[in-house]
Structure 1
Amino acid sequence: MTRTGELLALLTAAGGLAGAGWLAVGADAGERYEAGLVLGLAAGLAVALLRRFTTLPPGRRRPYTYALPLPPPDWRAPLPDPHGEPASLRPYAEQRARLLSDAAALGSSLRHSCALAPRLRAQLTSYATTASIQASNCTLHPAGEGGPCGPDPAYDAAYALGELVAAVEFSRIGMRALEALVTERPLRPDPPCYFNPLHERGHARVLLPDASQEAAVCHGCALGPAPLLVPSAAGSVPYYDSDAVDARWRLLGYGAVAPDSGAAMIAAAHDGFRAPPRSMRGSGGKAPRAKVS
């Protein structure tokens, strides 16, 4: 609410209290009880309106504690290497996506009460909502469960593994956005490791082997790359060399290429480009695949 609106609300509340007080003072002895009750109700209503519609004391009230549904994971701890098996990563990805989904309502509750600039509040709320939807969508590819879904089981497994890694990263982005709303601090860059997004966070930046650009990497991979491997017909390959992994995640390195607080991943979630659907691969048609150098 604007300052003018807050002033009007304050004057209205003061007028209501003054009127109720005048009635209480002017009431007869037998009516004092009813007048006091009216005064109390008017005071309670005035305070409730100020708390709901203004930021004036005692108007602004917001939660100052940040609690995740139990049991909360250690969001900064590296995850175990799935060794090309989606089933090994799925429980972790599903748990984090579920926790973000449960907490996503917090963004809406803080959208109007957080002290951050309105544009930043809206951006962080959008991050949390988009990340929650994308993380949930990325866990809906149970490749290898109940038989392969296409003529190339390795392709299906690599695609599912790439999506689960994306779910893990989107869950982290969404929770960081909610934490920024609660602490009223802008979202800070916290990119993953380009070579393996399941490693520790990418606190170092190195030139990629093809010398095309820099990317964030963990301290271990800065000394010697240990890429995330996914299955292929010719054997295990790094995820960024696999045509089965969504081109968005490969090109962005799950956000490691652009040090922008997750904005690139959120934008990628909106761009509408998806990996070829299973129906296209299962029908024997050759799916178009992007070449990533």
Structure 2
Amino acid sequence: MPNSTPNPFNQQVIDEFRANGGRVGGYFEGARLLLLTTTGARTGTRHTTPVAYYPDGGDQVLVIASAGGAPQHPDWFHNLVADPRVTVENGVFTYEAEAVVLTGTKRDELFARAVEADPGWAEYQAKTERVIPVVALREIPRGGPPNFTASSPGEAVKVIHDAFRRELALIRKEFAASGTALGAQLRVNCLTLCTGLTLHHTGEDMALFPFAAERSPELAPALDRLRHEHERIAALLEELRRVLAAEDVDPAAVLPEVERLTRELEAHLTYEEEVLIPVLEGASAS
């Protein structure tokens, strides 16, 4: 199936996104960004567009078809209505997803959550008579290992770690702007991070660390340290979940937990990269 050529601005963002594991500068710097590839409703051509997103826990993320408050829906929205099977690149993984256009109270609830996180969405809605759509991108399960966007196992570890670093930086920034009330979307962002870290560390304990131990037995003390750090981080994540569960929690009560998690996780990720990346790169070269 042929691919279209994006406009120069989008192409620059796409190239930078793919070259840097999802990290971009300029207009989108510091934003949660994904690349959404849809199939043209009229042409059948594949179109890739950079789109801002929100975590929604589990296996779906949310995108908003605002088009900056323009009178018409963006082209990518028309495409996914015609063919809801899309491809998502998040800087770490590339996966197929089903695009579900949310309606009624569910759409209104999630749009209100987005507005609470960024009032700019309300400004876009006020500029247009159309109801700005909210779309859930739900990952389609597949067999086999995930489709990493990295070219080697060592690079994959670094790309995953950098994604967690970026998300923690975003969450800290959001806390700084949150005032005295913990918004629903910020709560979701924190809980989604907790789930992602738990799954990542579980996978390392079950697969990556045994592989490294078999290939380099001398790493046993370092791997024991990494497992112990996983337990420590799991305790910090559980404490963060506990604080977030309070109904009227003050962001000032959550931020210290996020800062503590950030400090310990940063140290852990750096040490893990020093220990494991040389082993993984050696395995891929042999």
> TM exceeds 0.5?
no
Q: TM-score, normalised by structure 2?
A: 0.31
Structure number with greater Rg is 1
The structure where helix makes up a greater share of residues is 2
So what's the TM-score if we normalise by structure 1? 0.30
Q: Which structure shows the bigger proportion of residues in strand conformation?
A: 2
